[in-house]
Chains A and B, each alone.
Chain A
Amino acid sequence: MNKMTLQTEGDTHVVVTRHFAASPEAVYRAHTDPELIKKWLLGPDGWSMPVCVSEARPGGKIRYEWTNGKGRGFYQTGEFLELEPFRRIVHVARMHLPEPTPDNHTETTFEQDGDGTLMTLRMTLPDETSRETMLASGMESGMETSYARLEGML
């Protein structure tokens, strides 16, 4: 029921779907309200988000800062492009590692699905260089860092 699907589409997109047992309004709020985002957009266990800026309006800023509480951390900045309340969010974001990665473009839609919500997330893949960088650094420094970095793509 709550199984996530992840599929590649063409050569530059990944499409993710996930059902949630809550209304589109609730799921949408969980993606725009900083106090809610801080509770779940964390990647691997052990990481937290002490700073979360989410100005949910076109042109509004996004800033997520993560830390593992042991001196490691990184952050993501972005902007909201389009918002249709409780239905659709379009945003761009980039990771700072600390050099910024190229912008990732993501469209997220929320549809009524029975008693709950079907969320569909369509993301443009980072370009090949940044993917290779992420992958290479993952191999060097362990999965934890890579998970954390990939987190920024959400």
Chain B
Amino acid sequence: MQSLDVQFAALADPTRRALLARLAQGEATVNQLADPFEMTQPAISQHLKVLEDAGLIVSRVEGTRRPRRLASAGIEAMDQWLAMLRSTMEKNYDRLDEVLADSEKKGTTR
């Protein structure tokens, strides 16, 4: 499993999130990825390297091209961690709503 700190850092950048969103639609080359971003190819390659080092994407060699795609395991590890945190907290705060409503009732009847 890749470091989750590195993954959070990789996702902190809007361009990299956009690149991931594009790759979620399927494999793409650097040229294809650079197109909609109006960025130079080296700049895109630099972002792709950060994503690849974080274990969020993988590349394969196809002649002179290196198409990138999402690495599902890395994405899932962090998603799962955040999903567990979210689920726990939502449950707690729904319960807290009830506790607060009860206190309110007691307060007004006092």
Contact = CB atoms under 8 A, between A and B. Distances in A.
Interface in B4-29: 4-6, 8-9, 11-12
B3 A14 contact: no
B65 interface: no
Interface residues on A, range: 35 or more
B8 A21 contact: no
Contacts of B8: 8, 10-12, 125
Interface in A1-46: 2, 4, 6, 8-12, 14, 16, 18, 20-22, 26-27, 30, 36, 39-45
A135 B1 contact: yes
A18 B81 contact: no
B95 interface: yes
Interface string B83-110: 0111111111101111111011000000
B61 to A, nearest CB: 30
A54 B98 CA distance: 21
Contact of A146 (B84, B92, B103): B84
A33 to B, nearest CB: 10
B50 to A, nearest CB: 11
Interface of B: 1, 3-6, 8-9, 11-12, 77, 80-82, 84-93, 95-101, 103-104
